[in-house]
A and B are shown apart, each in its own frame.
Chain A
């Protein structure tokens, strides 16, 4: 059985153990959840050695059959199962997920009330997120997405600052809609592929109905050009895009994200900001560019314009944010706008930049939420105006926060820069005028992040902040790991670049 199967399923096993075990001390649950997460992370890292980076195919695959729907399509059976595997796009994203997952487990406070549920839902969410990136089958993918939806809903519902229950409901409604949109669009794609296959003269008489993602990717473009009407293809794409917009918190469907971040617990925020807000863009790359490249090209201007709107809207909204968590949320929206621009460009640089940005934004957002969470533990507030001079009492945490802010504003030798410049190279190649406007975001990110830094770590230290403790030993782990990865990608981008490069080219080849 393939590695991808095991590292996806391990946190689930931990979750189930937590569920069935009798009432124990919270330390046991913590250990179990961490064991599941860390084992999963180790397997992912082993996967890097087992993975053939020169091939763009799906590898480390594993599948368990579940049930069969007989005679669904012209007598053809649809076999439904759980199928996992990774290609050059999935592997780095799965790695990031495993890393952030383990770190957000670590960030759960040890004195947590209802700790058992926390570790249960967090482990479940981790399997769901890993599953989203490793699914090789539409059914598996949708199940994984549902898992994420419910697990994260409960994490927000159960823990956080006052108002978190309402935020959780908002999260659920929004992302529920995006899941429905994905379901409709993806089943529609499978149907289109089957229809196209059946009508192709070479396959006359044979019927195939499959949910297998690589198979669909390979056959769909033919089906679309020969069988599906352009209007139907556009409709499918737009439904998919609607899902992406809601899932990714793109303007104007974004308001669930700042609300959620503002009220959720730091460890939950790390997972949401780091990974949950990257699944929509993954859908756009995998199913949008991968299966409907003609539609991405057709709607390219729209995507690029919305990309720039998101870059700027996110930046301005971040500028006027009064709370660090809202600022980080909008900063994330701004980053993801650049992903949209890179995808719209539909060239190697743009796609590669978009993929880099998913990793970069994920790492940096998780780091920012971890650090601000650690600060809030001490200062009890994250209102920017009431902070100040924290460098005095906590130089180490302030230093890490500065690195995270600089990474977010795209300073060279951090992951933020290399993502940004690739996406813009792609953007300028295809849409120079729109990209010109978008480049304003490069200045704005410096404005809002340095403004927040100036108010937080610089300046005179308030009386109440003078005696606060700096980073505790266990807090170094998330800070050092995430900062290290941000710098690694920034200084030696080829560590993921060669995988993303091949994936980007594979996606473009399909597009013809």
Chain B
């Protein structure tokens, strides 16, 4: 089965081409039908690959053919299936199928319904092709392609200025990171002579990655950090996280699929895929851990105070991706990927449930909602499942995966990061239940919107229910109950059977974490369900700290002043130099020629015929001089 893994990305590509051929006015039913069926088939292929690999762990391999010759080297394209890739295939295709179904209801009657599905199909193809790339070159190609799809889908409602700005911002900010990745893979290619993962890893671990101007150890670190820069951009890690909240301008199913479950996780996947490189350089791994830890905390702190339901969940995504990075950074390879797996389901669930709410009340402001639980039972309950999973309450999915990362952070001796993670965990429980209570409980704040609210049709509720089930059970894929199956599955990629480290469960820590989560939920309940504590008064008494969180630590403003202004300043200086200095010199030279009565005056007469005759004569004279000079020398 593994040799047919290419079918998984091919099916959505077929869907894309088909929809393109049908044109932008194709009927909704046909468009949606084709797309949902093809992604579902793609999911079945992925499932078959995943299980086939489980029973024959050594069946992984690369299937490539030559694409372009570069001197003595060749660049190949093809596909490779490892256990890591197979897991990613499964996650991507499963979430895609559900989002495709949900969108049938959500995008109903949109003028560009068909275009929406075109972009989504193109995205799923690119994402899967990224995941099964056999080398860094192909990975980069599809890395940019998923970025393109993200750009197109954020800007899907192109007539909204905010959407247009957000699309541009997302592309440019991630591109800042991508340049690092670009340079990183070039350096790896130059030093190892290949883009293939295995060749690069071999060179890195055996210390043969040097270039004339840099030693192997330093190049390994440099390249790993450059590759990580790409991951920072894509996975919205600090300091390049600022694009993700703005990306919420896109349709909500896009936020669920691309900006929560799959594409933004590509950065985490990239670090996992190139893990031997990071392991060969201790420094790079430490950088990953710290960036991840800082991001986890920062995202959670900002999410505490946001008013827009999607933005809260977006900052939550940033924070959770930070957990995954931190897990990888402290050596907990399997736990990082485990969290990616569970997070994909419960975060997609939260976004789709939020989408269901937005669809019903047509607002994203939490303070215009309230009391929706009575009208939207399914949405309320599924959202609750997602929130419990995110908060890390036993035995929901997030509990298992997040706790294993926190445990690994503590056991590997990263005390500061451990506290970051615990504080973030408390905030997580608080902010997600703040959203839950504000949305589904209490009194409706806006009667008109409330009156019009209703549950969506089955195409929207079925995906919610399936994801809610996954949010409950996904954690059991890697517990003592199944002998840590997922972890063993992933480790099979290494000939030694071990990548990074694993740690025994720590029951005391588990209890503490759950207690922390429950405390967060309790505080949220006391503020927004049964208002014992006044949120306004608390915000006032906290003053500056509250504003810091609400204004997102002013990072957008700082970057704008620092980077955008500098760039624009340089651009204006160049423009000024170009117009008023260079061209002025040219003009002066022209005048000087005129004053001297040399040829240039003919250009001023406008008599082009005269000029052309003179130029032709000039040419002849020069040729003659050149030739006679040659003859005369000897």
Residues of A within 8 A of B634 (CB): 73-74
Residue pairs across A and B with Cβ atoms less than 8 A apart, 16 shown, are: A69-B627, A72-B630, A146-B619, A165-B606, A169-B603, A173-B603, A187-B626, A187-B627, A389-B158, A425-B186, A439-B182, A439-B183, A450-B171, A454-B167, A458-B161, A493-B68
Q: Is B600 an interface residue (CB 8 A)?
A: yes
Cross-chain contact A176 with B148 (CB below 8 angstroms): no
Complex: A439 Cα to B167 Cα, angstroms: 22
The contact string, 1 if C-beta is below 8 Å from chain A, for chain B 597-624, is 0001001001010011001101100110
Which of B68, B161, B163, B622 has the most chain A CB atoms inside 10 A of its CB?
B68
Q: Is A319 an interface residue (CB 8 A)?
A: yes
Chain B residues 559-607 with CB under 8 Å of chain A are: 567-568, 570-572, 574-575, 578, 582-583, 586, 590, 600, 603, 606
Name which of B172-180, B327-335, B455-463 contacts chain A.
Answer: B172-180
Q: Is A429 an interface residue (CB 8 A)?
A: yes
The answer, among B159, B190, B612, for a CB contact under 8 Å with A150, is B612
Cross-chain contact B603 with A255 (CB below 8 angstroms): no
Cross-chain contact A428 with B158 (CB below 8 angstroms): no
Residues of A within 8 A of B190 (CB): 425, 428-429
Residues of B within 8 A of A425 (CB): 70, 186, 189-190
Cross-chain contact A460 with B161 (CB below 8 angstroms): yes
Cross-chain contact A349 with B71 (CB below 8 angstroms): yes
The answer, among B72, B615, B631, for a CB contact under 8 Å with A176, is B615
Complex: A417 Cα to B142 Cα, angstroms: 12
Residues of B within 8 A of A421 (CB): 182, 186
Please judge, given known A-B contacts A184-B622, A349-B70, A425-B189, whether A316 and B168 are in contact too, CB under 8 Å: no
Residues of B within 8 A of A347 (CB): 71
Complex: A378 Cα to B297 Cα, angstroms: 52
The contact string, 1 if C-beta is below 8 Å from chain B, for chain A 205-218, is 00001000000000
Cross-chain contact B67 with A493 (CB below 8 angstroms): yes
The answer, among A457, A498, A504, for a CB contact under 8 Å with B158, is A457
Q: Is B69 an interface residue (CB 8 A)?
A: yes
Q: Is A43 an interface residue (CB 8 A)?
A: no
Complex: A460 Cα to B24 Cα, angstroms: 20
The contact string, 1 if C-beta is below 8 Å from chain B, for chain A 418-429, is 100110110011
User: Given contacts A183-B622, A316-B570, could you give 15 more A-B pairs where the C-beta distance is less than 8 Å?
Assistant: A73-B631, A173-B600, A255-B582, A258-B578, A412-B142, A421-B186, A424-B183, A425-B190, A443-B175, A446-B175, A447-B172, A454-B167, A458-B167, A493-B67, A501-B69
Q: Is A157 an interface residue (CB 8 A)?
A: yes
Q: Is A395 an interface residue (CB 8 A)?
A: yes
Residues of A within 8 A of B24 (CB): 395
Q: Is B386 an interface residue (CB 8 A)?
A: no
Cross-chain contact A316 with B144 (CB below 8 angstroms): no
Contact-size category for A: 35 or more
The answer, among B163, B574, B608, B631, for a CB contact under 8 Å with A316, is B574
The answer, among A255, A316, A392, A459, for a CB contact under 8 Å with B161, is A459
How far is the CB of B477 from the nearest CB of chain A, in Å?
34
Complex: A493 Cα to B572 Cα, angstroms: 37
A194 closest partner in B (C-beta) = B630
Which of A389, A459, A460 has the most chain B CB atoms inside 10 A of its CB?
A459
How far is the CB of A53 from the nearest CB of chain B, in Å?
12
Residues of A within 8 A of B161 (CB): 458-460
How far is the CB of A128 from the nearest CB of chain B, in Å?
14
Cross-chain contact A191 with B630 (CB below 8 angstroms): yes
B162 closest partner in A (C-beta) = A459
Residues of A within 8 A of B615 (CB): 150, 172, 176
The contact string, 1 if C-beta is below 8 Å from chain B, for chain A 440-464, is 1011101100110110011111000
Q: Is A391 an interface residue (CB 8 A)?
A: yes
Residues of A within 8 A of B15 (CB): none
Complex: A165 Cα to B186 Cα, angstroms: 46
Which of B140, B175, B616 has the most chain A CB atoms inside 10 A of its CB?
B175
Q: Is A180 an interface residue (CB 8 A)?
A: yes
Residues of A within 8 A of B567 (CB): 316, 319, 444, 447
The answer, among B72, B159, B568, for a CB contact under 8 Å with A460, is B159
Complex: A425 Cα to B184 Cα, angstroms: 11
Complex: A444 Cα to B171 Cα, angstroms: 12
Complex: A114 Cα to B186 Cα, angstroms: 52
Q: Is B423 an interface residue (CB 8 A)?
A: no
A508 closest partner in B (C-beta) = B71
How far is the CB of A329 from the nearest CB of chain B, in Å?
11
How far is the CB of A298 from the nearest CB of chain B, in Å?
19
Q: Is B491 an interface residue (CB 8 A)?
A: no
A396 closest partner in B (C-beta) = B24
Cross-chain contact A412 with B141 (CB below 8 angstroms): yes
Complex: A157 Cα to B168 Cα, angstroms: 38
B140 closest partner in A (C-beta) = A412
Q: Is A252 an interface residue (CB 8 A)?
A: yes
The contact string, 1 if C-beta is below 8 Å from chain B, for chain A 327-363, is 0000000000000000000011100100000000000
Complex: A119 Cα to B568 Cα, angstroms: 42
Complex: A146 Cα to B615 Cα, angstroms: 10
The answer, among A172, A444, A447, for a CB contact under 8 Å with B603, is A172
Cross-chain contact A187 with B187 (CB below 8 angstroms): no
How far is the CB of A89 from the nearest CB of chain B, in Å?
16
Q: Is A481 an interface residue (CB 8 A)?
A: no
Complex: A395 Cα to B115 Cα, angstroms: 11
How far is the CB of A407 from the nearest CB of chain B, in Å?
11
Please judge, given known A-B contacts A320-B572, A458-B158, whether A73 and B630 are in contact too, CB under 8 Å: yes
How far is the CB of B138 from the nearest CB of chain A, in Å?
9
Cross-chain contact A442 with B631 (CB below 8 angstroms): no
Please judge, given known A-B contacts A428-B190, A429-B190, whether A494 and B626 are in contact too, CB under 8 Å: no
Complex: A187 Cα to B171 Cα, angstroms: 50
Residues of B within 8 A of A250 (CB): none
The contact string, 1 if C-beta is below 8 Å from chain B, for chain A 164-201, is 01000100110010011001100110010010000000
Q: Is B165 an interface residue (CB 8 A)?
A: yes
Residues of A within 8 A of B590 (CB): 173
How far is the CB of A219 from the nearest CB of chain B, in Å?
16
Q: Is B145 an interface residue (CB 8 A)?
A: yes
Residues of B within 8 A of A154 (CB): 608
Cross-chain contact B619 with A183 (CB below 8 angstroms): yes
The answer, among A150, A454, A497, for a CB contact under 8 Å with B165, is A454
Residues of A within 8 A of B67 (CB): 493-494
Q: Is B155 an interface residue (CB 8 A)?
A: yes
How far is the CB of A352 from the nearest CB of chain B, in Å?
7
Residues of A within 8 A of B626 (CB): 183-184, 187-188, 191
Q: Is A413 an interface residue (CB 8 A)?
A: yes
Residues of B within 8 A of A74 (CB): 634
How far is the CB of A21 from the nearest CB of chain B, in Å?
22
Residues of A within 8 A of B142 (CB): 412
How far is the CB of B224 from the nearest CB of chain A, in Å?
17
Cross-chain contact B172 with A72 (CB below 8 angstroms): no
Cross-chain contact A439 with B179 (CB below 8 angstroms): yes
Complex: A406 Cα to B582 Cα, angstroms: 30
Cross-chain contact B145 with A412 (CB below 8 angstroms): yes
Complex: A180 Cα to B614 Cα, angstroms: 13
The answer, among B165, B179, B586, B622, for a CB contact under 8 Å with A443, is B179
Cross-chain contact A428 with B186 (CB below 8 angstroms): yes
Residues of A within 8 A of B211 (CB): 432
Complex: A352 Cα to B71 Cα, angstroms: 9
Residues of A within 8 A of B69 (CB): 494, 497-498, 501
Cross-chain contact A411 with B183 (CB below 8 angstroms): no
Complex: A142 Cα to B620 Cα, angstroms: 11
Cross-chain contact A505 with B71 (CB below 8 angstroms): yes
Q: Is B164 an interface residue (CB 8 A)?
A: yes
Please judge, given known A-B contacts A412-B140, A425-B189, A443-B175, whether A313 and B182 are in contact too, CB under 8 Å: no
How far is the CB of A152 from the nearest CB of chain B, in Å?
13
Chain A residues 450-507 with CB under 8 Å of chain B are: 450-451, 453-454, 457-461, 493-494, 497-498, 501, 504-505
How far is the CB of B229 from the nearest CB of chain A, in Å?
12
Please judge, given known A-B contacts A319-B568, A442-B182, A505-B71, whether A313 and B623 are in contact too, CB under 8 Å: no
Complex: A179 Cα to B186 Cα, angstroms: 38
